[in-house]
């Protein structure tokens, strides 16, 4: 497109939407016309390239003016608009979970499986923010040595649950410092208080006792790596930090490999910064705020058996876990 692309952002007033606008601007994505949308329940303006835009409720005809539409709102909204919009020629990049596991919809992290964009339809899904760190960090190791088993404990920031969740943490903290206790908040987002707390629940539970998030991690990672045989088990934990997801990962490789070979694979993995020194591990405060790559450290042999290793991973759930990944998909599309 010589004069740039008409861009729609559905969910422009949300947490991911705000970051998406910042990234489109900072990375100089060639935007011709810009159309922001929200639920329409309350007035909201967004600023893009110094200009104020009112958000409006989406409709198929309004969205149809876009060459590329980013869906950063809800599963329902993506389901309602994205397939019809894509069928009529607009690229739809969806950050919700609505189409991630749908056959024929690629689930894309550009530095891992971006080549899928070359032969795909116009509806593209971006993955869950939690598994993105593992999918990027271990991609090179999986390619060379074949990861056969993966176990994770995830430490997930409240911003992963959107702006209402951030408000819950802030309200609980304010109340604690004012009154000395964390109150029961009416209409709270999380199942438990989050200030000075953590809980092993991200989403509801299935009949086997796994949470929605734990099931997403398993199914989406298998799809992105195009490998159904890997055994994956995780425990997803919500922690009282604002931004940046951390993962404690244990993995087993099919081919024998040394720590030196793994280090070398990690140092050459696109989108990853790996620290060799154990004390240089990443943290969400230092490496999870508007960072464009995934960070990893503390690689070591696991004591449980041969070809078993452990790694600590941190990434920004709102950037690489959502908005940045979507913008990187759009950048690849722009080059097609």
Ligand X SMILES: NC(=O)c1ccc[n+]([C@@H]2O[C@H](COP(=O)([O-])OP(=O)(O)OC[C@H]3O[C@@H](n4cnc5c(N)ncnc54)[C@H](OP(=O)(O)O)[C@@H]3O)[C@@H](O)[C@H]2O)c1
User: Binders of ligand X among 123-152, rule CB under 6 A?
Assistant: 129
- Exactly one of 5, 6, 7, 17 binds ligand X (CB under 6 A); that residue is 17
Answer yes or no: 245 catalytic: yes
Name the segment binding ligand X (CB under 6 A); options: 71-79, 110-118, 183-191, 230-238.
71-79
Answer yes or no: 167 catalytic: no
By the 8 A CB rule, do 148 and 254 touch?
A: yes
Task: Kindly state the tokens that stand for 279.
Answer: 């004390």
Report how far residue 301's alpha carbon sits from residue 309's, in angstroms, rounded to the nearest whole number: 4
Report how far residue 85's alpha carbon sits from residue 97's, in angstroms, rounded to the nearest whole number: 17
In terms of Cα–Cα distance, which of 160, 138, 170, 171 is closest to 272? 138
Rounded least distance, CB 18 to ligand X, Å? 8
In terms of Cα–Cα distance, which of 113, 108, 111 is closest to 94? 108
Rounded least distance, CB 148 to ligand X, Å? 27
- Exactly one of 90, 154, 159, 234 binds ligand X (CB under 6 A); that residue is 159
Q: Tell me the torsion sign for CA atoms 108, 62, 78, 242.
A: positive
Give the total of residues touching ligand X (CB under 6 A): 31
Task: Kindly state the tokens that stand for 236.
Answer: 């997803």
Rounded least distance, CB 280 to ligand X, Å? 25
- Exactly one of 112, 139, 158, 318 binds ligand X (CB under 6 A); that residue is 318
- Exactly one of 23, 58, 218, 251 binds ligand X (CB under 6 A); that residue is 58
User: Taking CB under 6 A as the rule, does residue 15 contact ligand X?
Assistant: yes
How large is the angle between the packed helices 129-137 and 212-224, nearest 10 degrees? 40
- Exactly one of 30, 39, 203, 308 binds ligand X (CB under 6 A); that residue is 39
Rounded least distance, CB 256 to ligand X, Å? 36
User: Taking CB under 6 A as the rule, does residue 162 contact ligand X?
Assistant: yes
Q: Which of 55, 129, 142, 287 is flagged as catalytic?
A: 129
3-state secondary structure of 248: strand
HSE-CB for 227 with a 13 A CA cutoff: 16
By the 8 A CB rule, do 309 and 257 touch?
A: no
Pairing of strands 31-37, 5-10: parallel
User: Taking CB under 6 A as the rule, does residue 73 contact ligand X?
Assistant: yes
User: Taking CB under 6 A as the rule, does residue 328 contact ligand X?
Assistant: no
Task: Kindly state the tokens that stand for 53.
Answer: 């835009």
Rounded least distance, CB 310 to ligand X, Å? 25
User: Taking CB under 6 A as the rule, does residue 284 contact ligand X?
Assistant: no
Name the segment binding ligand X (CB under 6 A); options: 67-75, 197-205, 260-268, 293-301.
67-75
User: Taking CB under 6 A as the rule, does residue 96 contact ligand X?
Assistant: yes
User: Taking CB under 6 A as the rule, does residue 95 contact ligand X?
Assistant: yes
CA 192 to chain centre: 23
Rounded least distance, CB 48 to ligand X, Å? 14
Strand partners, 22: none
Residue nearest ligand X by beta-carbon distance: 14
In terms of Cα–Cα distance, which of 176, 168, 230 is closest to 194? 168
User: Taking CB under 6 A as the rule, does residue 112 contact ligand X?
Assistant: no
Task: Kindly state the tokens that stand for 99.
Answer: 């189409």
Q: Tell me the torsion sign for CA atoms 48, 328, 297, 129.
A: positive
User: Taking CB under 6 A as the rule, does residue 315 contact ligand X?
Assistant: no
Q: Residues interacting with ligand X, by CB under 6 A?
A: 10-17, 37-39, 41-42, 44, 58, 72-74, 77, 95-96, 129, 159-160, 162-164, 317-318, 321-322
Write out the catalytic residue numbers.
129, 245
């Amino acid at each position: 497109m010589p004069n740039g692309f008409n861009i729609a952002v559905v969910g422009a007033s949300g947490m991911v939407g705000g970051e998406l606008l910042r990234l489109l601007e900072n990375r100089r994505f060639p935007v011709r016309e810009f159309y922001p949308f929200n639920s329409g329940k309350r007035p909201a303006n967004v600023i893009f390239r110094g200009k104020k835009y009112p958000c409006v409720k989406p409709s198929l005809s309004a969205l149809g003016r876009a060459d590329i539409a980013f869906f950063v709102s809800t599963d329902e909204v993506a389901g309602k608009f994205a397939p019809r919009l894509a069928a009529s020629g607009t690229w739809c990049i969806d950050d919700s979970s609505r189409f991630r596991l749908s056959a024929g919809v690629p689930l894309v992290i550009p530095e891992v499986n971006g080549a899928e964009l070359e032969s795909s339809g116009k509806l593209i899904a971006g993955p869950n923010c939690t598994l993105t760190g593992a999918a990027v960090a271990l991609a090179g190791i999986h390619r060379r040595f074949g990861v056969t088993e993966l176990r994770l404990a995830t430490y997930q920031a409240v911003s992963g649950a959107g702006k209402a969740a951030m408000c819950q943490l802030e309200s609980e903290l304010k109340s604690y410092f004012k009154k000395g206790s964390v109150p029961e908040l009416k209409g709270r987002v999380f199942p438990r208080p989050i200030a000075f707390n953590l809980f092993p629940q991200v989403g509801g539970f299935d009949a086997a006792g796994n949470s929605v998030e734990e099931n997403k991690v398993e199914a989406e990672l298998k799809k992105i790596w195009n490998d159904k045989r890997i055994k994956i088990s995780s425990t997803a934990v919500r922690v009282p930090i604002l931004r940046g997801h951390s993962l404690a990962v244990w993995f087993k490789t099919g081919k024998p490999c040394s720590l030196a070979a793994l280090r070398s694979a990690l140092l050459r993995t696109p989108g990853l910064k790996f620290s060799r020194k154990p004390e240089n591990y990443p943290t969400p405060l230092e490496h999870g705020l508007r960072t464009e790559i995934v960070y990893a450290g503390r690689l070591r042999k696991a004591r449980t058996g041969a070809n078993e290793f452990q790694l600590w991973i941190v990434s920004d759930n709102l950037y690489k876990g959502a908005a940045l990944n979507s913008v990187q998909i759009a950048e690849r599309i722009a080059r097609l």
